[in-house]
Structure 1
Amino acid sequence: MLFLLLIGCSVLAAGIFTAKILENAHLKELRQNMEREIAIIQSLADWQTELHKPDPRRYFSDLAEYLERTAQARVTFVATDGRVLGDSEYDAQQMDNHLNREEIVMARERGSGYSIRFSETVNTKMLYVAQPLKREGSNEIEGYVRLSMSLAHVDETVRELWLGLIGGLVLLFAAAALVSYRVSLGLTRPLEKITDVANQIKQMNYKSRVHIGNKDEIGQLGHAINTMAESLQAQMQRIQEEESRLKSLLENMISGLLMIDREGKVELMNRSAEEMLGVSAKELLGKPFREYGQHRELVEMSDRGWDLGEPVREELHLFYPQERIVEAHIVPIPGNDGTGAGAGLLIVLHDITAIRKLEKMRSEFVANVSHELKTPLAAVKGFAETLLAGAMDDRETARSFLQIIYDESERLNRLIGDILDLSKIESKRVQMRFSPVHLDSFVEKMLDMMRSAAEEKKIALVSNTGHDLYVEADEDRLQQILLNLISNGINYTQEGGRVTVSVEPAGEAEADGEYERIRITVEDTGIGIPKKDLPRIFERFYRVDKARSRSSGGTGLGLSIVKHLVDLHHGTIRVESELGVGSKFIIELPVVHA
């Protein structure tokens, strides 16, 4: 294409040069002819006589008109003062003074003058040629003869030359384009394809291929490019798969991970680290880790890792964004020479809050179990020793002591039973047997079982059912849930109070009129639960009023067992309470289990 452009420019320049030379030659020849015609006119005119007459304009005007027909050019006679004496086409009296016209000035100074300009008189571009009329035997100028001719013919000739030149250029370009096209088919186009594919590979588009059927050197080059692209594509696919697996692994790791480069800037941070430290990766990536001020202990620990150049392990207590215990491992990343922490640091964070909490709960559980077992055992042992010491002789006292021993042993038996039940439930060793349960009749049955205990305290048991609802549940475990809640309501309600059990649909009905979940509510008018105790009400051995719990014979495990059994039914339980007004335990269960 560049070669074609150079050819076109060369031909165009040659054409312009040729056209200019032809135009100048034509004008020169035309000027010379006009000068010869002026010389003939000077020899024909009676200048000496006519110039000195009072009104020479008539003579010179008639002569100009006559000469125009012969010379086929406009003829003008000009006096030495610039007055037009005669003109072959216009009235001489109405014409301007010609003393300062270019051709007249040049004729006066050089003996012959010419100019090319646009004539407003005839409204076309004209060639003017003038020569002075001199007195015989002297160089005194008596007037000027001027011929003018339209250059329309010259312009037409040049225009024809340009048309020929342009036509030739068009033909040349067409021929050159055809030749270039033929060349590109055989050489340029395959190279362009190869170049395009190479650029595509450079831009990481490894699927691009060269499609060339030639078996010459260009074809072999295209085949080599394709082989290279296939190899790169396979390697990049493996790299992307490894990167995807690594990214998925990092993002789904439970442990937090931070990588710090050799300049101390955060280079990598996974989602778990964001959650543990309460900061997004966008805020830390590319910034110095030493400037991170929310957890100074971790920053100081990383500084020790830099200084020591060896792994550092420490247990940290973090308080933001929430309180948690973290086990931090600082591991130096060796440099290329295999020594020191030249490449950076790797910080691994393990959230051990649940482990420490579990250890604390286990410790508290052992302490609570020991305490709960020790209390009835101490009572049994104390009263047994009293009986052995002689209280057996007093029949009434002995009976009273034996009753206490019996009650404490029953309490001990219930405690051991609840501990075993809770252990089975927490270890997922409870086998759930789901079957349809008609809730209206089931609730009435539960209230009947607790009615005698309620009547002793003059507490009314109220059933608020009537929706004819069924639920898929383990009937024995559901019975254990309701009995625990109703028993709690009776124990913590004063005489004359009320415990109400309600059953209703939860949420809106489906298109077929069925419900996805049901709600069971156990409400009492008892002493209520303080707000500060509500979050811990389902913990093992947690009691709001320890004295009242022991006097009621509670083990402190009932609500914990209820919470675990509701979870096994894939349900939820929550509590609402107000001191002095009462408590409300709300259970929501799915109607059908998958």
Structure 2
Amino acid sequence: MKKKIFVTYIILLLLETILTGLFSLSFIKMSYLSNIEEMLITDGNLVNKMVEDKIKEKYFKDIDFSKLAKEYSKQINARITFINRNGVVVGDSEIDKSDLKNIENHMNRPEIKKALKGIIGKSQRYSSTLDINYLYVAVPVVKDGIIYGVTRLAYPLNKINKIYFNFIKKIVISMVIGVAVAMLLGYRYINRITEPIKEITVTAQKISNGDFSSRVYVESEDEVKILADTFNLMAERLNNNISELQDKNTKLKSILTSMKEGLIAIDNSNRIILINSPAKKLFNIEKEDVLKEEIFNLINNEELKISLEKIINDNDLEKIEVAIDEPEMRILKIYKYLIKLNQDPNRIIGKLILIVEVTEMRRLEKMRTEFVANVSHELKTPLTSILGFVETLKNGAIDNEKVRDKFLNIIEIEAERLTRLIDDLLTLSDIESNKLSSNKKEYIDVYEEMIQIKDMMEEIAKQKDIEFICEIQESLPNIYGNRDWFKQMIINLVDNAIKYTPEGGIVRVSAYEKENSIFISVKDTGIGIPKKDIPRLFERFYRVDKARSRKVGGTGLGLAIVKHIVLSFGGKVDVYSEEGKGAEFLVKIPL
């Protein structure tokens, strides 16, 4: 194999070298001839310039062109011939003046024809006069637009050929040296390629004899390296089938462990063949290794066990929901999937149980249901009242001025209550859905806004004989957001404090900067909030004392609006309260 590669390499190398040399020589020759032509044209133009100056002094026919030809030829190292416009040679650097009459007319020479037309003529041919191959360049002698004759310059091609053969000699020497070096390097390179192949062959023989630990080591980065790596990979796979299966098992366990949902796979005898950590946590299984154990023996919660037995044993049942209260109240949704063989889909080898905790989802659904019920109730009560009084008025009470005014006042109060409720619902909806265009956001001067709220709420507190104290730090930083929402948030908190503080009490509002945030505190000496009610305080329509809340005219949405406004500013609100000793709402808005 090595010999075949080497011979092929040498043949290709020789072909490439020969072709490159031929093309190089051809290019050099063409380039050299082109340079000679350009040089002759330049020299011809210079000679013509001097001839044209002579024409000023003498007529063209009176100039001694033989003398000029010999003088200029020595200067430019080229044969010069002067021909008049009739094709007659009137001077030549290589021929005596007396012999000019023996030279044939040059009118039919191709380069002369072109020159007499005012074009520079070029040609290569044999000179019968001097028995030499020449490169001819003919430049017309033009004076005042009249062509008087032609200056022809000739360069012997034997000089070019001599230079050309020197080039060939040097290129051949370079080619021989290059081929010799390439052969030496090629032999070493072929050795480098064939050695790994020989090693692969030897290693393959070892593996065929049962030595699966044998490996091929190749340092190159080419296809041979890929072949060796592929060979090693094949050997490794043959040797490490069991290890790969264990690795896949580990990966599967990692995936199962990272799942939030519980997952259990059981066989047809209800024995566990796979279980993840969330499932163990859900079923409160503390035992480490539970594989091959029956699932029902591991579950302590009776309700959960009954639900699992039901879904596993009922072929038509695919999902079930169960509520358990140990160790804490949770709602679980259990799904069942049949495990089938890919090769035989009709054969069932077990069941896959997926347990999803839906406690939070059900809580939100319950909140939504309660919200709809509360809205309906809150709307129905004033509407019923309004409709009742309208009906009474229509039945004749309208004629009694005292009764009519009383009923209309009640209708007005209930209508205002409805308006407040609807306004609060719309506000809450806008805030929750964040329906706030960027042009409504602005920088808010907290100090100015707090002073305005103080002036507004101070009068309301005075009417109830409540001491209203406002402590606002000057030079508070601005915050960015909706100005109206900010004011509504503070007003709702202060209004609540005034409503639930008895006469003679104190409502204290303070605002200050701390920890790169603005803190706003609304503290009262009112009835306070029971500890059990604090977690639900910001739910819509949630009231600690429903009777008292309706009596003071609340919609049950004020604190829900406060919470969502605070969230829109990226802040949070905390409640500190003790029943009978007042409450404090502390809002923190980051800068």
Change (3 A) 1:304 1:369: closer
Task: Give the Cα separation in 2 of the matches to 1:481 and 1:365.
Answer: 21
CA distance in 1, matches of 2:243, 2:509: 63
Give, in angstroms, the shift of residue 285 of structure 1.
5.7
- What are the equivalent positions in structure 2 for 1:343-354 lying under 5 Å apart? 344-354=350-360
Residue of structure 2 in register with 1:536 after alignment = 536
- Partner SS state of residue 380, structure 1: helix
Name the counterpart of 1:20. Answer: none
Matches within 5 A, 1:95-106: none
Point out the more displaced range, 521-530 or 265-274.
265-274
CA distance 1:586–1:266, shift in 2 (3 Å): farther
* C-alpha contact (below 8 Å) 2:304/2:324 kept by paired residues: no
- C-alpha RMSD of matched pairs (Å): 4.2
Return closer, same or farther for 1:235/1:287 CA change in 2, 3 Å cut-off: closer
Shift of 1:304: 4.5
* AA of the residue aligned to 2:524: D
The 5-angstrom pairing of residues 163-242 of structure 1 reads 209-211=216-218, 225-226=231-232, 228=234
State the TM-score, normalized to the length of structure 2.
Answer: 0.56
Is 1:416 paired with 2:422?
A: yes
Query: Secondary structure at the residue paired with 2:544?
Result: coil
- Secondary structure at the counterpart of residue 263 of structure 2: strand
Equivalent residue for 1:557?
A: 557
Q: Give unpaired runs (5+ residues) of structure 1.
A: 1-185, 203-207, 214-218, 508-514
Q: For residues 202-252 of structure 1, what are the alpha-carbon distances to aligned partners after superposition, in whole Å with 9 as ceiling and x for unaligned?
A: 9xxxxx753499xxxxx9x97874362588899999999998997776555
> Are 2:400 and 1:363 equivalent residues in the alignment?
no
> What residue is the counterpart of 1:448 in the other structure?
455
Q: 1:224 to 1:542 in 2, by over 3 A?
A: closer
Closer, same or farther: CA 496–225 of 1 in aligned 2, 3 Å: same
Q: How many angstroms does 1:291 deviate by?
A: 2.1
Aligned pairs for 1:246-261 within 5 A: 250=256, 253=259, 255-261=261-267
Deviation for aligned residue 1:534: 1.5
Partner of 1:590: 590
Query: Where do residues 390-469 of structure 1 align in structure 2 (5 Å cutoff)?
Result: 390-431=396-437, 434-466=441-473, 468-469=475-476
Give the superposition deviation at 1:520. Answer: 1.6
Give 1:473 shift.
Answer: 3.4
- The yes-or-no answer on 1:316 pairing with 2:340 is no
CA distance in 1: counterparts of 2:300 and 2:245, whole angstroms: 36
SS at match of 2:508: strand
SS, match of residue 528 in structure 1: coil
Give 1:469's aligned amino acid.
L
3-state secondary structure, aligned to 2:556: coil
Q: How does 1:149-168 map to 2 (within 5 A)?
A: none
Matches of 1:393 and 1:532 in 2, distance apart? 52
- In structure 1, what is the Cα distance between the partners aligned to 2:370 and 2:459? 36
**Aligned in 2, Cα 1:279/1:484: closer, same or farther, shift over 3 Å?**
farther
CA positional deviation for 1:349? 1.8
1:282-320: CA deviation from partner (whole Å, max 9, x where unpaired)? 475665422222334444444455545565321111223
Distance 1:237 1:209, change over 3 A: farther
Query: Offset at 1:554?
Result: 0.6
Pairwise CA distance, 1:544: 1.2
- Report the more deviating stretch, 228-237 or 267-276: 228-237
Name the SS of the counterpart of 1:257 in structure 2. strand
Contact 2:296–2:305 (CA<8 Å) still a contact in 1? yes
Instruction: State the AA in 2 paired with 1:436.
Output: Y
The aligned counterpart of 2:482 is 474
Per-residue deviation, residues 93-119 of structure 1 (Å, max 9, x unmatched):
xxxxxxxxxxxxxxxxxxxxxxxxxxx
Query: Residue 447 of structure 1: SS of its match in structure 2?
Result: helix
Query: How many angstroms does 1:492 deviate by?
Result: 0.7
TM-score (structure 1 length as normaliser)? 0.55
Tell me how far 1:564 sits from its aligned partner.
1.9
> Does residue 496 of the first structure (1) align with residue 488 of the second (2)?
no
Residue 332 of structure 1 aligns with an amino acid whose one-letter code is L
Matches within 5 A, 1:13-412: 209-211=216-218, 225-226=231-232, 228=234, 250=256, 253=259, 255-261=261-267, 264-270=270-276, 272-273=278-279, 276-279=282-285, 282=288, 284=290, 287-304=293-310, 307-308=313-314, 312-334=318-340, 337-339=344-346, 341-342=348-349, 344-412=350-418
Q: 1:212 to 1:567 in 2, by over 3 A?
A: closer
- Seen in structure 2, the aligned counterparts of structure 1 residues 191 and 248 have a Cα distance that, compared at 3 Å, is closer
Q: Count the aligned residue pairs.
A: 383
Residue number in structure 2 paired with 1:183? none
The 8 Å contact of residues 529 and 578 in structure 2, kept in 1 or not, is answered as yes
1:575 — aligned with what? 575
CA spacing shift, 1:380–1:306, aligned 2, 3 Å: closer
Q: Tell me how far 1:411 sits from its aligned partner.
A: 0.5
Shift, 1:529, TM fit: 1.1
Give the SS at the match of 2:492: helix
Tell me how far apart the structure 1 counterparts of residues 230 and 390 of structure 2 sit (CA, whole Å). Answer: 100
Q: Distance in 2 between matches of 1:463 and 1:246?
A: 63
Q: Quick check: 374-383 or 274-283, which moved more?
A: 274-283
Q: Is the 8 A contact 1:194 1:225 kept in 2?
A: no
Structure 1 contact 212–222 (Cα < 8 Å) conserved: no
Structure 2 counterpart of 1:45: none
- SS of equivalent residue, structure 1 residue 495: coil
| CA shift digits 1:390-432 (9 cap, x unpaired) | 4444444433332221111011011111122223333343447
Of the structure 1 ranges 383-392 and 318-327, higher mean CA displacement relative to structure 2 is found in 383-392
Asked if structure 2 preserves the Cα contact closer than 8 Å seen for 1:310 and 1:331, the reply is no
Distance 1:212 1:457 in 2: 93
Report if aligned partners of 2:335, 2:355 keep a CA contact under 8 Å in 1.
yes
Cα distance in 1 between the residues matched to 2:469 and 2:476: 18
Distance 1:224 1:527 in 2: 81
**In structure 2, how many angstroms separate the alpha carbons of the residues matched to 1:199 and 1:442?**
86
2:35 aligned partner: none
Taking the aligned partners of 1:287 and 1:361, their CA distance within structure 2 comes to: 41
Conserved? CA contact 2:212–2:235, under 8 Å: no
Q: Aligned AA for 1:529?
A: I
Q: 1:346 to 1:398 in 2, by over 3 A?
A: same
2:546 — aligned with what?
546
**Mapped partners of 2:427, 2:213: distance in 1:** 67
The 2-side partners of 1:240 and 1:468 are apart by 67
CA contact (8 A) 1:277 1:321 kept: no
In structure 2, distance between residues paired with 1:520 and 1:222 = 73
What is the Cα deviation at residue 486 of structure 1?
0.8
Once residues 286 and 436 of structure 2 are traced to their aligned partners in structure 1, the CA distance between those partners, rounded to angstroms, is 42
CA distance, structure 1, for counterparts of residue 311 and residue 370 of structure 2: 37
Quote the offset at 1:388 in angstroms: 3.5
Q: Find the residue that maps to 2:299 and give its secondary structure.
A: coil
Partner of 1:458, secondary structure, is coil
Does the aligned pair in 1 maintain the 2:311–2:319 contact within 8 Å?
Answer: no
Give 1:386 shift. 3.4
1:62-117 deviation per Cα after TM superposition (whole angstroms, max 9, x unaligned): xxxxxxxxxxxxxxxxxxxxxxxxxxxxxxxxxxxxxxxxxxxxxxxxxxxxxxxx
* Alpha carbons 1:459, 1:495 under 8 Å: kept: yes
Q: Which residue of structure 1 aligns with residue 566 of structure 2?
A: 566
- Separation in structure 1 between the aligned mates of residue 424 and residue 321 of structure 2, nearest angstrom: 36
With over 3 angstroms needed to count, the CA separation of the structure-2 counterparts of 1:381 and 1:438, relative to structure 1, is same
CA contact (8 A) 1:506 1:588 kept: no
Letter in 2 for 1:424: D
C-alpha separation in 1, matches of 2:565 and 2:240: 54
> How big is the shift at 1:437?
2.7
1:353, 1:373 → 2: CA distance? Answer: 30
Percent identity of equivalent pairs: 38
